[in-house]
Amino acid sequence: MDRLAGQNTASSRHGRLFAPIEPFDRRRMDRGDGHVLYVEQCGNPDGRPVIVLHGGPGGGCSPVMRRFFDPGHWRIVLFDQRGCGLSTPQASVVANSTPHLLFDIDAIVAALGLGPAVLFGGSWGATLALAYAQARPEAVSALVLRGVFLGRQAELDWFYGGGAGRFWPELWARFIAPIPPEEHGDLIAAYHRRLFSGDPATETRHAIEWMAWENALAGMDCPTPANPPPDYARAFSRLENHYFANGCFLDEGQLLRDRPRIEHLPSIIVQGRYDMVCPPLSAWELARGWDKAELRMVPASGHALTEPRIAAELVRVMQIMAGVD
């Protein structure tokens, strides 16, 4: 969902996105285990580094993600995580876990010669930012998080166990319709069997339904997304389901448990008040008692990166970090 591009124009003082830019560096990084990552850099080669961590898992980056940062100040690093976007092989879950992604970030930092960087991530990107910062606090200078997801079972139960479906019963009915009633007790597992059935038609059909459920709830004030291309839907849904079926490859409650490792880092959390995908409770729990964390609850907003108020607030936050506002 974070790949959905908004149409904001450049006027950072008013929270609008900067003008479109092209990378000054594009490269592919062979990780030696069958995965090849797409990595790009934009903005100022000598600027303060910021690493953009996309959502999903499986969402991939998009050009709109370059536009949250003043290109004269920031050295903007984006990459597609394993199995998605321009990284290959597409939709592969082999050697694809949270520890693998943390090592990938290490490799990118080393290859690009980055000093301590700001981590900018939303949804699953916020999960990954927290996991990386807690594992490598010396490599991080600050965190900017959006739509916080802590990878806990209660959060998965909310979205795939019927909680969100109480607000969107007609969409929930569509999501569960392809699954026999006897499998409704664990929809992540039920979809997993079909997304990894080995039959491309079955996988694609269920991937579209998996993705449609999430996209439909992602935003309050942004256009309803069109049906995604089948290949993209299959990659996104397989990867996301793979991570969720494995508890995001995190210990239950790990990101709150290990918060003391990063409490010295300045952090700003931008959270939509009416986020139906990642409800505000997780952001509030993360920020509570963390002196250097500021929680910015955005009114009349949901989850998507491209929601106007969410996007505007993220631009303002990055301008503050750049010392402009």
The residue from 35, 54, 73, 303 that is catalytic is: 303
The total number of residues shown for the chain amounts to: 325
The residue from 123, 237, 267, 282 that is catalytic is: 123
State the DSSP string of 15-35: TPPPPP---SEEEEEE-SSS-
Is there a catalytic annotation at residue 303? Answer: yes
| Chain position carrying tokens 């301590």 | 116
Is there a catalytic annotation at residue 267? Answer: no
Alpha-helix residue ranges (DSSP H) falling in 219-304 = 230-245, 254-257, 281-287
Cα distance between residue 131 and residue 20, in whole Å = 30
Nearest to 149 by CA among 130, 166, 168: 130
The tokens describing 57, both together, are 């898992």
State the DSSP string of 283-306: HHHHHTT-TTEEEEEETT--S-TT
| Cβ atoms 70, 12 nearer than 8 A | yes
Is there a catalytic annotation at residue 100? Answer: no
Cα distance between residue 153 and residue 40, in whole Å = 33
The residue from 80, 275, 282, 301 that is catalytic is: 275
Nearest to 280 by CA among 168, 67, 160, 126: 126
Where in the sequence numbering do the catalytic residues fall? 123, 275, 303
